[in-house]
Chain A
């Protein structure tokens, strides 16, 4: 069963509602509702639109098994977005993550964390698309893959930058579960399987939160 859970932290309380269309379903976020979970179809496309002046931390975790889906975020003007996508994969899947910046003064930080729950393959395409005639935008994309099983990831990080007035960068790293961390948890009486699961989950949710300023 494929699931998507979404947590939205609206730092400036700048949204009345945020609508996330997903196949036949749709997630509506209101100010007081920050966590939603939904069963997603095997094929899904969703477009999130941030119109103006949003300061949001969005944490999505997708539990996938043989899915083909895309998440597109369109930032208009003056948005400050931290988007964290955790993908826990089982089976052969493909995820397209597109962040499209169409206006000025947007700051987008995209964190993607991928783990495999079995011998499986995932194709991940992460695209940052900054269109022409936009100004003063920053875009940072950081992808990390925790390789545990004899699984594989094909990752295509892509930056399409058509504006001169932008700061954009991306990076990707692949690592495995730390033997020291695993030993530590096991030496506290936790079984190896459970310890691995705890480390996987912590990696998936390891969103680098931003400090909220009082100003």
Chain B
């Protein structure tokens, strides 16, 4: 049993840290330090820098540009990006669709899509959820009917994150309406410029525009854009959802939030004439989160260690903790940050929009914190709600 990072891993962490310090554009870093999402251009520029370094697609096979890192290195890389903070490689390209194409796609598909995906020449979005298929994803109804050398797709996707930026969408569609739920689904790649696609924004409670509805009316998708076999798309979906389980813990992101919270509560935010951190009740709430985060970090280490060795790809029971605890901790961080800002957390406005604090109502450190709190309620809903996670645990790990 060796419970520490080895020297090579420590050196790797330093290498990543140095690269970020040297290469991350100042405007991107400052924007993220202020708790705002990076703009599209910032994400694209940064991913191209990472790609030039060979670091944009840690999860991909080496022959398609992956760096050949261990799970430990991938974790370190991710954590360093999160706590810098710096943008992560776009998940839709690098964690979701890319690995699916690398695993299930044809040589032609790999050549055509993967290099552009890695360099973020194409921005991808995820067409999974539907109005009637949320937690029960396999209940999806979007139909794809084969006609000659293409599929005709009709239906509606929803909660499509950043579809407004997207050049391509990967879709789960129903190709056999008579088969059992999971067995009639296929995985299609679709150019967002195809006629018949309409993207309509969904504005979330804090006022931000992250997610969209995507309507598909007689959208023609060439048959060569089918990934894997027809009606075997659920295999791709399961592979995608099971990929990178430890990515959901976001330990580095929470650590960055706590650092920020403690700075604000120790210097800016006053309570009874003293820094808020000196209020024992508040300090204890922060400490409870720090303890849970330390435990989660060790749980992630355990998952990495077991998954590195595991041949059968069966998840460790500890993996189920990652989504639940990871999101609970992040949500608590967002709540405490909002509380720390007091009344100045209330300024309304789209925290994603540039210049939205132009009239300087709130101090910079406080701006948009309530918005983030409201927005982050999504974390325990997306990616399989935390209740679905508990169902999975009860069934898969506890045999109930």
Are A and B subunits of one complex? no
A contact set with B: CB distance below 8 Å: none
